[in-house]
Structure 1
């Protein structure tokens, strides 16, 4: 029986998303976290045939310390935590979950958009905690600008599965959709226009990032790019924190270069307490939860189980280092 070790399973299954489909495939051990260094990782994984990891790094040192290792199954789409090229040299397959959160992440992008456009919780808090409505002389008031989405323009940077779904939702709200992507694979039926990045930034009322981190996208959103945007525009990032120069964004928010931002991901996670975006003006920050609905996590669990099963049956699927 193959030994399957999960190094950091808590975020995928904090208690509501059982491991049963994976546990039945072999001798299964799951650790909530492996955060005490590479020695701890090696101690836990050294006899494994299959390693499951989400954010725990599997580098050359770990791979060399695991003589039985055949397969590394990532509990996510991104696989930058694994030295997959070295794994390939050693004959070890690296598997990922390519599609699981299209709807979930797109919905979170729009949750950010609605928060920035209508600020429901700010007005509700004033009504409930400060009795602002009770003590107001008018029948209505608002503490933040109220922005209608119909007729506004959304610029989507990265027009893959999630980006296209964001465009579909935006189209349903009668927004104008602009898209930028170097690779145009699937073309959706709803009305949209492909433009260059600088044109997209200049025309958009909302800019939503949906691209991976590559050398040409890392830190792509810097002060030069923020200065191209309208001072009434908002930045949404539910993709990768490394796409944004954080100090530049904080400065752009604080000096009014742009109007606000909704961020679900940062360069470092968890962030340092002095991260400039945690105190920036009109900056909504959530702790990387766009992916975290039970629906999406259940799809991850099911796909990982199928990935491991496919490897054990000799026909691995979702291999990123064939």
Structure 2
């Protein structure tokens, strides 16, 4: 059994793949050029099993990997793989749907609390001696906002959004959500609304949907126009859900109070990204999924998915 891991750097640096190596003949790459199909094909040409995190496997790659039988995606989103092509070529594809739910929900509120409480800024100012030189016992450089009573709107209501909802409720926020398929809810403190109602009511809008042709540029000039002036937008899902030029303009014009995102359209971020020219824009380098405990869980489930495939008892199958 020939197994190829295309991009294991994020796990290799402080975890090991011994449990995977016990399953077959393994070739482990730290990185694979994401824009070089020829190199990707070369690396997986004789592989039975391929594991990818962010290296794309499109129709050309899949169709030329004659021995390929299984693709394991090290993550929840599966936009890096041409699922239809995999189906046509009888290649099983699995993902890991819930490994990072707690970490991403935690990080979503880390972004929101940074916007509203400005801990990072004021810690920096204190270390720059600003407090020591202040004439009063206190000072603040930017407005501080209280979450109690504000409306938290969630676009999508999967595992992560449900955890974010509970945290919002713990902060005494009013919680509403929109999901493209209606959800059955039992909690009295949350309300399911239409997409337009969500846009109009939310003080804080948090994105929790996967990237599909229908959700690309979901946040754009038209949807922003329906939002409250001063809305805070959080994105721990996918960068392409938001039109970054439209976000920049709305931030600079004051329509959006803040945009806090862990993901951008192209990663790593381009030096000319519109977001880098935007006011009150908070950007982190796609790290919501990355606590040690979360990555350890990711590794274990990746291997468990393969073991299940080899035993004929498939789980976490996409196609």
Same fold (TM over 0.5): yes
In structure 2, C-alpha distance between the alignment counterparts of 1:197 and 1:255, rounded to whole Å: 24
Do the aligned residues in 2 keep the contact of 1:3 with 1:47 (CA within 8 Å)?
yes
- SS class of match (1:99): coil
Residue pair 1:159, 1:184 contacting (<8 A) in 2 also: no
- Does residue 120 (structure 1) correspond to residue 91 (structure 2)? The answer is no
* Shift of residue 65, structure 1, vs aligned partner: 2.9
- Output the aligned Cα RMSD: 1.5
Partner Cα distance (1:146, 1:262) in 2: 16
Gaps of 5+ in 2: none
Quote the offset at 1:62 in angstroms: 2.1
| Partner in structure 1 of residue 39 of structure 2 | 40
Kindly indicate whether the alpha-carbon contact (under 8 Å) linking 1:156 and 1:178 is maintained by their aligned counterparts in 2. yes
SS at match of 1:253: helix
Cα distance between partner residues in 2 of 1:185 and 1:196: 12
Q: What does residue 181 of structure 1 align with?
A: 179
Tell me if structure 2 keeps the 8 A contact 1:168–1:190: no
Residue of structure 2 in register with 1:70 after alignment? 69
Q: 1:230-241 counterparts in 2 under 5 A?
A: 230-241=228-239
Secondary structure in structure 2 of the residue aligned to 1:259: strand
CA distance in 2, matches of 1:294, 1:160: 23
**Which residue does 1:317 correspond to in 2?**
315
Q: In the aligned structure 1, how far is the partner of 2:285 from the partner of 2:157?
A: 24
Any stretches of 5+ residues in structure 1 without a counterpart?
A: none
Structure 1 residue 247 displacement after superposition: 0.5
Contact 1:171 1:190 in 2 (8 A): no
User: How many residue pairs end up in the alignment?
Assistant: 318
Q: 2-side partners of 1:105 and 1:244: how far apart? A: 18
Q: Which is worse superposed, 306-315 or 243-252?
A: 306-315
Match of 1:242 in 2: 240
Which is further off, 211-220 or 131-140? Answer: 211-220
Structure 1 position 188, deviation (Å): 5.2
Deviations 1:288-312, CA, capped at 9 Å, x for gaps: 1111111221121111101111111
Would you say the 8 A contact 2:79–2:211 is kept in 1?
no
Distance 1:97 1:15 in 2: 21
The corresponding residue for 1:21 is: 19
Alpha-carbon distance between aligned partners in 2 of 1:264 and 1:132, rounded to the nearest angstrom: 29
Q: How far 1:82 moved relative to its partner?
A: 1.6
| Aligned twin of 1:209 | 207
Q: CA deviation at 1:184?
A: 3.0
Are positions 1:284 and 2:251 aligned together?
A: no
1:30 maps onto 2:40 in alignment: no
The answer to whether 1:52 aligns with 2:51 is yes
TM-score by length of 2: 0.95
**Using the alignment, how far apart are the partners of 1:26 and 1:172 within structure 2?**
47
Structure 1 residues 36-45 or 265-274, which shifts more? 36-45
Secondary structure at the aligned position of 1:268 is classed as coil
Q: How much does 1:227 deviate?
A: 2.4
User: Where in structure 2 are the equivalents of 1:262-277 lying within 5 Å?
Assistant: 262-277=260-275
